[in-house]
Amino acid sequence: MPSGQTHDRITLWSLPVVAGIAFGQTQSGNITLILSGAYLFSGLMFGPDLDLYSRQYQRWGYARWIWIPYQKTVKHRSILSHGFAIGTILRLIYLAIWLSILGLFFLGIAQFVWNVGWHWQTWWETVKRSLTHHTTEWIALCLGLELGAMSHVISDWSHSTYKRQQKQKNRNLPPQRGKIVRKKETGDRRELREPRELRKLREQRKSRKS
């Protein structure tokens, strides 16, 4: 597969194209920003390679440990991490579970220390309202995340295909005869060698004469 650096480059170079198409289709700065941001986030931090020790994983900094159980469960380049839509959906669910656990933990502390009030009903109403009022924004977010993941998967796939073809090509080539590689001698060396050869010849002649 391509290196992390190549994946980063592909994400960064394709970003203007994604943003251009998004703006061309929606004519909305907000949607373009959300989609491009999600695309960038997905390409650099939230992509399929979170299933192994990668740049994407390292970018989570102190919070990267949350991806360790994911790496242990999902095999690298399996359909669960690199598959179309399923990879992003599973990562989103996984992240949501962690955010809920951490959220509940901090909420528990806040309730205990500052007596902060919390109602599931109100929270659920807010989520529902956001989903219905900002449906396009949510779709742009999900689309951006999926596009970022797919640009990764496509470059993984084309790299593997190219490598496979190269291997096949090398296999089809006739076996090479043992090449004789001779070091080129520099002029100086040849000159240095000649007297020695001459000496040898002289010695041979001498021995024949005697």
Q: Using CB under 5 A as the criterion, which residues of the chain lie in contact with Zn ion when the complex forms? A: 48-49, 156
Q: Minimum distance from CB of 145 to Zn ion (Å)? A: 15
Longest dimension (CA), the chain: 118
User: Is 101 or 154 the residue whose CB approaches Zn ion more closely?
Assistant: 154
User: Is 78 or 122 the residue whose CB approaches Zn ion more closely?
Assistant: 78
Residues 6+ apart with CB under 8 A from 160: 1
Q: Minimum distance from CB of 187 to Zn ion (Å)? A: 53
Q: Minimum distance from CB of 51 to Zn ion (Å)? A: 8
Q: Map tokens 């598959």 to a residue.
A: 83
For 62-83, b/e burial (b = at least 16 CB within 10 A) is eeeebbeebbeebeebeebbbb
User: Is 48 or 148 the residue whose CB approaches Zn ion more closely?
Assistant: 48
For 7-44, b/e burial (b = at least 16 CB within 10 A) is bbebbeebbeebbeebbeeeeeeebbbbbbbbbbbbbb
User: Is 31 or 147 the residue whose CB approaches Zn ion more closely?
Assistant: 147
Q: CB of 140 within 8 A of CB of 31? A: yes
Q: Minimum distance from CB of 173 to Zn ion (Å)? A: 30
Rounded Cα distance, 210 and 202, in Å: 12
User: Is 48 or 144 the residue whose CB approaches Zn ion more closely?
Assistant: 48
Q: Minimum distance from CB of 82 to Zn ion (Å)? A: 6
Q: Minimum distance from CB of 75 to Zn ion (Å)? A: 12
**DSSP secondary structure letter of residue 210:** -
User: Is 137 or 156 the residue whose CB approaches Zn ion more closely?
Assistant: 156
